[in-house]
Amino acid sequence: MTRHGQLIGIGADAIAEYKRLHADVWPGVLAKISECNIRNYSIFLKEPENLLFAYFDYVGTDFEADMAKMAADPETQRWWSHCMPLQRPLDSRAEGEWWAEMPEVFHHD
């Protein structure tokens, strides 16, 4: 299992819509997240900086393949078409990233 932390911005005018969407995530999207070996998935909002922090545990054996499978899913693509315009990727993110991955520097169970 690997832990993942990710960060992205959100427009101040988009927060209410983002919260509305995530209060009722489509069942097919949730099923695909689970099918792609993601567990314990949470998204947090930090205002007034308007940053979204995501955390999840990856329990699979091929993260890249599972993320490609998720990205190829038509319902997930439709979901992203609603969410992505609300998000503001960080200028400092690595090439190819939407959400900026953050390395873990401490963990305690």
Task: Give percent above pLDDT 90 in the chain.
Answer: 99
- Run of H or E including 56: strand 51-58
pLDDT band at 19 (very low <50, low <70, confident <90, very high): very high
pLDDT on residue 95: 94
What tens digit of pLDDT does each residue of 45-97 get? 999 999 999 999 999 999 999 999 999 999 999 999 999 999 999 999 999 99
Task: Report which of 97, 98, 65, 68 is spatially closest to residue 81, judged by C-alpha positions.
Answer: 98
| Region for residue 37 given its phi and psi (left: phi exceeds 0; alpha: psi -120 to 50; beta: otherwise) | left
Give the pTM.
0.93
Query: Domain residues of the chain, as ranges?
Result: 2-99
| Region for residue 96 given its phi and psi (left: phi exceeds 0; alpha: psi -120 to 50; beta: otherwise) | left
Q: Which residues does residue 42 pair with via DSSP β-bridges, in sequence order?
A: 55
Task: Give percent above pLDDT 70 in the chain.
Answer: 100
Average pLDDT, the chain: 97
- Is 3.30.70.100 the CATH classification of the domain at 2-99? yes
pLDDT on residue 2: 96
pLDDT on residue 105: 97
Mean local confidence (pLDDT), 9-18 = 98
